Amino acid sequence: MDCMMPLLNGYETTMIIRKHLSEKQIPQPSVVAISGNTDATHQEQAFKAGMNCCLFKPVDYQDIL
């Protein structure tokens, strides 16, 4: 999930997805935050939004495995 998307950022999008799936009792998918900002506050914000982990750009393919 790209954290800095225009109009609806990745944090807001994740919270909407989590709420909707929870209300429908649908299993939650894993959500990975991807951000170009390596500031620790962005990682905290990602976890508060319900993301499972946070990767920073440029993303190394090995980090995803």
Whether residue 65 is predicted with pLDDT greater than 80 in this model: the reply is no
Residue 9 · residue 3 · CB < 8 Å: yes
- pLDDT mean over 50-59: 91
Percent of the chain with pLDDT over 90: 60
Instruction: Give 32-53 pLDDT, tens digit per residue.
Output: 998 888 888 989 999 999 999 9
Note down the domain range covering 39: 10-20+30-64
Q: Identify whether 3 is part of a domain.
A: no
Per the CB < 8 A criterion, the answer to whether 21 and 27 are in contact is yes
Domains of the chain: total: 1
Q: Is 48 helix (H, G, I), strand (E, B) or coil?
A: helix
Q: Is residue 1 part of a domain?
A: no
> Among residues of the chain, what percentage have pLDDT more than 70?
100
